Structure 1
């Protein structure tokens, strides 16, 4: 555990310290989000924070590769495949943040990055089934893997619409996934706690925590596509790598000692729980736009975060409440490893009630809990970016 926490700290520190340089690069290259009719931010804002996040991932992974405890994980190429795919989508996001690429070009780049991962062995070989784990046919593994990775990247990109929202959701949900994968490794490999998924989640949580001080409202920099796609890809890579820790010929009840129910489903259920809000937001957006006869990629102001603001929440309150919902779903799914499904269901009910009160209760309209006024006025006074200078962006 201490090794993973050290890597988490390194990733956070590197990301925090290099984000100002990413902001400088964004200002120098005019990679700045203008204020458009559908946007929530009120000032043109640099958007290359993903470069700092990628640098934090690279430094932490390279450090891990030199640690005797973890060096064995780097022999089969999975970690390097995920790192290579992340590097590709980071460059793709940088280009999109600078030149506003069309959706087809972005999709092609995403497929290429997911393909790099798949051909390095990061493939979804098994899926859970009521009777146990089912092995996918060989010709389908690459295609399904690419689909899952591209879906995760776009889900995180869709939800990246409020300051600190995407980074906070991945940090909170990723921490639940981290504890789950660490517990899984302790049971499956009692003599070796090294795990690709645990390593990746420790690093991913670290870079999100390191980026949040710069990105929470009022944000001084956005992660941009260079960040959101990297987060989605690494999350998907970690989830897929977990399936390799469970043998498909073992019955679900035998997979995890102490799990009360559905343990074989958790390697895929938990990432879905972590990304539930982004996936729900993306699914509703696609259905809404198709029903209106528009492209699924057509922008609008009907995302979940827009609806939170419409309920009367401040920017910061809306973000924190969406954090709460993420924690409810992610930690509920992770708790299935240690608690019976009946106990988890009770705690889920209590947590949902609390989250609903926060979402729909009196905090929407009165009280100064997480109000935006003071912070926003200070940000406007200090901001060196002038309105009208940057080109229009694509992701917010």
Structure 2
């Protein structure tokens, strides 16, 4: 790869943009051409997702699409964003463990505590081994720099929450995948604007976008023969990667004594990251609160997720996903335009808007019922 970069340099071709283009194309087509084979094997071996209490589908669908996404990201990131694996030695190992746990759960359904143990191990490896952690809260609740052990604990919890949060929003066609594309695009653009030191993360974000877009082609297909879900393999992988990119994003704005690295500071960086990931955060918190209020286990499946509420309004999966993503992208836009106000005020605004989006479907449903009864 380095010889190829030298050749491009001699030809006067910007290496970064070549990596962007090839990374996107290869990640897209690897996923695109892998999925039909996975669908065929899934049907032949009867590796299908069975409709259940949380399901929004009525028939058996292959659910190993996450394997193709991992396959594509693993290959393309190793080629076009290899600097990340040099810098973060345990990143690829973490992805491999998640792949194994995800596939096991999609095929035989693992017990919740086993998945949690695996997630703790993966999160600990990346946080402690690669030093990917939240070092400061930038003044949220008056807290700034975190002590090392508190930082490690808080970062591990953050990884675990986001891994499971993305798993929970993966309930209708296009939602988890579409939201992952938006999040990756927002982080990618942010990395690009923050300088060439962050270019490997830009390429990495583009590779994720390419792989997920190819998956969405099949996930949103109207043809039953082509339809596939990402399963726990895909949702856990994307949750982990977006937790990784969000923590890297926050870390950029912390002053470091690194040579030849520009220094940036945005006081509201953690809240902007929260705004980008607001959908899985709010949806998970909302569901847990409802379950605890009803004296049920936080891990008990139900249909209190935002996407379930929109389906109750007789929306299709595509429309429900589109409306949810559109609303929460609006919150990101608000966070961006208000990014220079007090960080605590901004956090309150973002959380209020986030939870408002979770309950808007309820208000609409009640209004429609009252209107139809009058």
- Give the TM-score band, short-chain normalised: 0.7 to 0.9
* Structure 2 residue 150 is the aligned partner of structure 1 residue 140: yes
Q: Of 232, 235, 258, which residue of structure 1 is paired with 2:242?
A: 235
In structure 2, do the counterparts of structure 1 residues 269 and 311 end up closer, same or farther at CA, with 3 Å as the change threshold? same
Equivalent residue pairs, number: 331
Give the aligned partner of residue 371 of structure 2.
Answer: none
Per the normalisation by structure 2, the TM-score is 0.78
Deviation of 1:182 (Å): 1.4
Q: Of 206, 210, 215, which residue of structure 2 is paired with 1:211?
A: 215
Give the aligned partner of residue 55 of structure 2.
Answer: 39
> Matches of residues 232-271 of structure 1 in structure 2 within 5 Å?
232-248=239-255, 256=264, 263-266=266-269, 268-271=270-273
User: C-alpha separation between the residues in 1 aligned to 2:304 and 2:85?
Assistant: 43
Q: Of 328, 331, 334, which residue of structure 2 is paired with 1:326?
A: 328
Report 1 or 2 for greater relative contact order, CA contacts < 8 Å, sequence distance ≥ 6: 1
Deviation of 1:330 (Å): 3.0
Give the aligned partner of residue 163 of structure 1.
Answer: 173
Q: Would the aligned equivalents of 1:128 and 1:134 in 2 still touch at CA under 8 Å?
A: yes
User: C-alpha separation between the residues in 2 aligned to 1:60 and 1:264?
Assistant: 34
* Structure 2 residue 300 is the aligned partner of structure 1 residue 298: yes
Give the structure with the larger helix fraction. Answer: 2
Per the normalisation by structure 1, the TM-score is 0.74
Cα RMSD over matched residues?
3.3
* Structure 2 residue 24 is the aligned partner of structure 1 residue 20: no
Give the aligned partner of residue 189 of structure 1.
Answer: none
Q: Would the aligned equivalents of 1:174 and 1:274 in 2 still touch at CA under 8 Å?
A: no
In structure 2, do the counterparts of structure 1 residues 294 and 326 end up closer, same or farther at CA, with 3 Å as the change threshold? same
Q: Deviations over 1:91-113 (max 9, x none)?
A: 10110011111111111111111
Deviation of 1:36 (Å): 2.5
Give the aligned partner of residue 86 of structure 2.
Answer: 75
Q: Would the aligned equivalents of 2:53 and 2:302 in 1 still touch at CA under 8 Å?
A: no
User: C-alpha separation between the residues in 2 aligned to 1:200 and 1:269?
Assistant: 22
Give the aligned partner of residue 197 of structure 1.
Answer: 201
* Structure 2 residue 87 is the aligned partner of structure 1 residue 87: no
Deviation of 1:148 (Å): 0.7
User: C-alpha separation between the residues in 2 aligned to 1:247 and 1:303?
Assistant: 35
5+ residue gaps, structure 1: 187-191, 258-262, 366-396
Q: Deviations over 1:52-85 (max 9, x none)?
A: 000111111111256xxxx4x4433x1x422321
Deviation of 1:237 (Å): 0.8
Q: Would the aligned equivalents of 1:53 and 1:227 in 2 still touch at CA under 8 Å?
A: yes
Q: Which has the larger displacement, 272-281 or 301-310?
A: 272-281
Give the aligned partner of residue 5 of structure 2.
Answer: none
Deviation of 1:274 (Å): 2.3
* Structure 2 residue 106 is the aligned partner of structure 1 residue 103: no
Q: Which has the larger displacement, 160-169 or 124-133?
A: 124-133
